[in-house]
Amino acid sequence: MNGRPSQQPPRDNWRTWLILGGRGSGKTRAGAEWVNSLVRGFPPFEPKETLNIALVGETLADVREVMIDGPSGIMAVSRLERPRFEATRRRLVWASGATAAMFSSEDPDSLRGPQFDAAWCDELAKWKNVQATWDMLQFGLRLGESPKLVVTTTPKPIALLKALMADETVLTQRMATSENQANLAPSFMVHVKKLYGGTRLGRQELDGELIEDRRDALWSRQMMEEIYSADVPELKRIVVAIDPPASATKKSDACGIVAAGLDAKGFGWVLADESFAPAKPIQWARRTIALFYRLEADLIIAEINQGGDMVPAVIAAEDPTVPVRGVRANRGKALRAEPIAALYEQGRVRHAGRFAALEDEMCDFTHAGLSSGRSPDRVDALVWALSELMLKTDANPRIRVLG
């Protein structure tokens, strides 16, 4: 099978191969090449005298125009032998006797009765009767020793796709549009990155990421799209907040490091997210100090619940001239975050960049914590920084201009 390594079918024993890709990433080509390799018996597949394949798309028109006749479809990749298309029977037929029948998510019942050795499902996240169509297809995959199913789609937060991603038996492959830029118009990537780079839409449609909201989260995805601005004004104060982990093993929490500033109108500006893991004390101290000097900050805010006086001491050991204020959390994380979330709701906070990991954590944070169960270290650092700037007063502000 031709293509990049990410477009190659898994060698392991598998039933379902899920390909999550951005627009133009080559996911359709991967599906078409897989069908062609299956029919031709190319490695790792064995030739089979009779082979019945299901081609399932949002509509029959999509199956024909994209999966079969499209520039990356089955006809385009079948260079050695093209199948013939039987319009009345809505199927492809190869000289070997292999067939590929067309089905639409608009008519799940059309999958009742037929049986298959394999199936290719395209743009699953767009399907109309997605669960019913999927269920009917599963009952039909009952031929051969090991029926196989390939799904190619740009992800959207629908229940079926999330269930597939959570299923340990499903092999998942991700493809970003940028991986295939050699086959795209030269100006395309420059244009879409300028318009959508780092946005929710861009991460979904270009990077193939599954982006969703938790209904009870303190922040929303829509809010994140509205608060970004590259036009940062003069800032009265800049602080760097650090929420260090208790340990530095591979399973430890991240070290939250977030910088924020305050302008003359009282608006808060999130300037940087330098959080990382695993983080040893000397590493997080050096990164925090470097950010302090790069932004010409006034103060480092350090949560000391985990390490007590150790946190300021580690920073002082690296640079004793850096001002550090230790803060101790006496309330739960959600209670501390609520006033900051309210400032966002009031439109009083802006982000000077697209901080994907921070925004993901914010939009996943509820009163019950993160869905992963891990500590919200980036959110903690954000809350400490903005609390210092916006929930307190400073009698002697200094002006900072970001250049």
Per-residue pLDDT tens for 69-117?
Answer: 999 999 999 877 899 999 999 999 999 899 999 999 999 999 999 999 9
Averaged pLDDT for residues 128-145? 94
pLDDT at 398: 44
pLDDT on residue 384: 96
pLDDT for the residue numbered 353: 92
The whole-number pLDDT of residue 403 equals 43
Q: Classify residue 159 as exposed, middle or buried by CB count within 10 Å of its CB (0-12, 13-18, 19+).
A: exposed
Specify the pLDDT at position 46: 66
Residue 265 pLDDT greater than 80, yes or no? yes
pLDDT tens digits, one per residue of 46-66: 666 689 999 999 999 999 999
Query: What gap in Å lies between CA 366 and CA 215, rounded to an integer?
Result: 9
Q: CA quadruple 55, 6, 364, 388: dihedral positive or negative?
A: negative
CA–CA separation, 181 and 169 (whole Å): 31
With a cut of 90, say whether residue 304 has pLDDT above it. Answer: no
What was the pLDDT predicted at 248?
A: 61
Q: Which residue has the tokens 């609390």?
A: 387
Find where tokens 């922040």 sit.
Answer: 219
Lowest mean pLDDT among 183-187, 262-266, 307-311: 307-311
The CA-based dihedral angle spanning residues 86, 91, 94, 98, taken in that order and rounded to the nearest 10 degrees? -140
**The predicted structure's pLDDT at residue 261:** 98
**Which of 9, 38, 29 lies closest to 74 in space, CA to CA?**
29
- C-alpha distance from residue 209 to each of 62, 174, 212 (Å): 23, 8, 10
Average pLDDT over residues 325-350: 91
Q: What is the pLDDT of residues 169-191, one digit of tens each?
A: 999 999 988 888 888 888 888 88
Say if CB 36 and CB 4 are below 8 A apart.
no
- Distance CA(379)–CA(332), nearest Å, equals 13
> Among 26-40, 96-110, 385-399, which is the least confidently predicted range?
385-399
Mean pLDDT to the nearest integer, 342-359: 93
Confidence of residue 292 (pLDDT cuts 50, 70, 90): very high
Averaged confidence pLDDT in the chain:
88
Model pLDDT, residue 399:
39
Exposure string of 363-401, with b = 16+ CB inside 10 Å and e = fewer, is: bbbbeebbeeeebbbbbbbbbbbbbbbbeeeeeeeeebe
Q: Which has the closest alpha carbon to 128: 111, 151, 108, 102?
A: 108
For 193-216, the pLDDT digits (tens) are 777 877 767 777 788 877 677 778
Q: Give the span between the Cα atoms of 57 and 103, in whole angstroms.
A: 7
Beta carbons of 235 and 401 less than 8 angstroms apart: yes
The pairing of strands 52-57 and 84-86 is unpaired
Q: Which two tokens stand for residue 402?
A: 């970001």
Taking only the tens place, the pLDDT of each residue in 225-253 is 889 998 999 999 999 999 988 776 666 77
Query: What pLDDT is stored for residue 1 in this prediction?
Result: 56
Pair of tokens at residue 217: 């989260």
Q: Smallest Cα–Cα separation from 341: which of 260, 224, 241? A: 224
Q: Which two tokens stand for residue 331?
A: 């309330």
**pLDDT mean over 382-391:** 96
For residue 400, the model assigns a pLDDT of 44
In the numeric block, the tokens 């064995």 are attached to 46
Q: From CA 27, how far away is CA 382, in angstroms rounded?
A: 37
Distance CA 363, CA 220 (A): 5
Amino acid at 162: K
pLDDT score for 240: 98
SS3 239: strand
> In this model, does residue 149 exceed pLDDT 60?
yes
Predicted model pTM: 0.61
Supply the angle between the helices 310-318 and 281-294 in degrees, to the nearest 10: 60
What's the pLDDT at 189? 83
Contact 178, 205 (CB under 8 A): no
